[in-house]
Chain A
Amino acid sequence: DTEVTQTPKHLVMGMTNKKSLKCEQHMGHRAMYWYKQKAKKPPELMFVYSYEKLSINESVPSRFSPECPNSSLLNLHLHALQPEDSALYLCASNQERGTAANYGYTFGSGTRLTVV
């Protein structure tokens, strides 16, 4: 299995809703990431988990709450979002050791989030 699976693919939520994005990988990768991508922009790093521990938070607002229940799963809990948070949310993973190839990301297809 060489994929990162993200669910749901599309999500529309109101500003008072609580929702969660889910990401799963079974490649044994030790690092997992959340990125946010706006249209025609590069991905922006939000969070990094290494060995299931949060190692980087890029000053993301608290209305985004990450969780790593185990080495294969990564969640992003959403609460009280704003319309400007509408974007493609990408999950990625990599091995972070060994040959150069292991440092590249495997990205999921993303969750397209619309906040209304």
Chain B
Amino acid sequence: QKEVEQDPGPLSVPEGAIVSLNCTYSNSAFQYFMWYRQYSRKGPELLMYTYSSGNKEDGRFTAQVDKSSKYISLFIRDSQPSDSATYLCAMRTTSGTYKYIFGTGTRLKVLA
């Protein structure tokens, strides 16, 4: 079993839809949870970050962490064609390691 599982997609939705992207993980020691957006042929861009559990909202984006289920989600409201990208979840513990474990990424296509 991989430490972090993420559905690779592709996920196609119409413009304006609510998008739900998810990752599951197996290491209960993970405390830092990040979502990155990566456009084709570009470096990943940090979109949302959460420490421990709970929700965080930023504009059209909401990140949720459910540590009891070892499950994190990213919701995108009113999706736009410009949201078409690959979304990567990443997580790590608080111990001395600097190493994030990345999910495989979900390719999202928002159709105009």
A residues in contact (CB < 8 Å) with B = 4, 6, 31, 33, 40-43, 45, 48, 50, 55-56, 88, 90, 92, 96, 100-101, 103-110, 112
Q: Mark B18-44, 1 if CB is under 8 A from A, else 0.
A: 000000000000001010100001111
In the complex, what's the smallest C-beta–C-beta distance from A59 to chain B, in angstroms? 13
Q: Which of A40, A42, A96, A112 contacts B41 (CB under 8 A)?
A: A112
Say whether A105 contacts B104, CB under 8 Å: no
Assess A107 versus B32: contact at CB under 8 Å? Given A48-B99, A50-B98, A56-B98.
no
Q: Judging by beta carbons under 8 Å apart, are B98 and A100 in contact? A: no
* Cross-chain contact of A103 among B8, B44, B49, B104 (Cβ < 8 A): B49
Task: Give the contact-size bracket for chain B.
Answer: 20 to 34
On whether the beta carbons of A48 and B34 are closer than 8 Å, the reply is: no
Min CB distance, A16 to chain B, in Å?
Answer: 27
Selected from B8, B32, B43, B44, the residue in CB contact (under 8 A) with A100 is: B32
Complex Cα gap A106–B47 (Å): 10
> Bound complex: CA of A110 vs CA of B104, how far in Å?
18
Q: How far is the CA of A90 from the CA of B36 in the complex (A)?
A: 14
Residues of B within 8 A of A109 (CB): 42-43
Question: Are B43 and A101 within 8 A (Cβ)?
Answer: no
Contacts A33-B98, A50-B98, A104-B34 given: A42-B103 contact, CB under 8 Å? Answer: yes
| A20 smallest CB distance to B (angstroms) | 19
Complex alpha-carbon distance, A58 and B46, angstroms: 23
Which residues from B are CB-within-8-Å of A108?
A: 43
Nearest CB in chain A: distance from B33 CB, A: 9
Known interface pairs A33-B98, A56-B99; A43-B32 also in contact (CB < 8 Å): no
Query: Is A42's CB under 8 angstroms from B46's CB?
Result: no
- The reply to whether B100 and A105 form a contact with Cβ atoms under 8 Å apart is yes
The answer to whether B49 touches A104 (Cβ under 8 A) is: yes
Known A42-B104, A55-B98; 10 more pairs at CB < 8 Å: A4-B43, A33-B98, A43-B88, A56-B98, A100-B49, A105-B34, A105-B100, A106-B46, A107-B43, A107-B44
